[in-house]
Amino acid sequence: MSITHDYEVDIKWEQGRIGIASSDALDNRIQVATPPEFKGGIDGIWSPEHLLVAAANSCLMTTFLAIAENSKLEFTSFDSKAKGKLEMKDGKYMISEIHFETYLKIPDMEQKQKAERLLHKSENVCLISNSLNAIRTISIHISKG
């Protein structure tokens, strides 16, 4: 049996290089624009490149939250920074790499190996990352807290 879900997003051009992303399923709207690294790009507004990296990073977090809960791993803090590398390959721009820098605080350091294993598993099974061709790497920092 196949499981499917649909996610609809609408984009409406506002002016210049700026648009608004919205969804009937959500209350919030997001202003989007060409990033400033490109001609006509605008600083200070979410770009498709930022949103792609944010999607991968937030998927890592939500996947970890589910796996940690199912595995009964206690933690007090989760923070992740992601950096996407945009480059031209074969004449086309693409996000070729995404690196996750994750910071996790756990109350019991005897659970450190389990926490590392679950973070690696989360990165491996994240559906957004698995939908991308980008090379993914993760650095894990676990401390007591």
91 and 34 co-located in one domain:
no
* Residue 45 CB contacts under 8 Å (≥ 6 apart), including other chains: 18, 31, 32, 33
Q: Taking 90 as the threshold, does the pLDDT of residue 101 lie above it?
A: yes
Do residue 110 and residue 121 come from a single domain?
A: yes
Q: What is the pLDDT of residues 12-54, one digit of tens each?
A: 999 999 999 999 999 999 999 999 999 999 999 999 999 999 9
CATH number at residue 118: 3.30.300.20
Give the per-residue pLDDT at 16.
96
Looking at the structure, do residues 37 and 62 belong to the same domain, yes or no?
no
Domain hosting 91: range is 48-144
pLDDT score at 37: 94
Residues 57-79 have a mean pLDDT of 98
H/E element, 108: none
Q: How many domains does the chain have?
A: 2
Distance CA 41, CA 57 (A): 24
Average pLDDT value for residue range 91-120: 98
SS3 130: helix
Domain match, 41 and 52 both: no
Instruction: Please indicate, yes or no, whether residues 100 and 86 belong to a single structural domain of this protein.
Output: yes
**Tokens encoding 13:** 């051009």
> How does strand 77-89 pair with strand 30-33?
unpaired
Whether residue 98 is found in the same domain as residue 35: no
Rg of the Cα atoms in the chain: 18
pLDDT value, residue 1: 78
How high does pLDDT run on average in the chain?
Answer: 97
Q: Read off the pTM.
A: 0.94
What's the pLDDT tens digit per position in 69-92? Answer: 999 999 999 999 999 999 999 999
Same domain for 37 and 61, yes or no, is no
Tell me: do 22 and 54 sit in the same domain: no
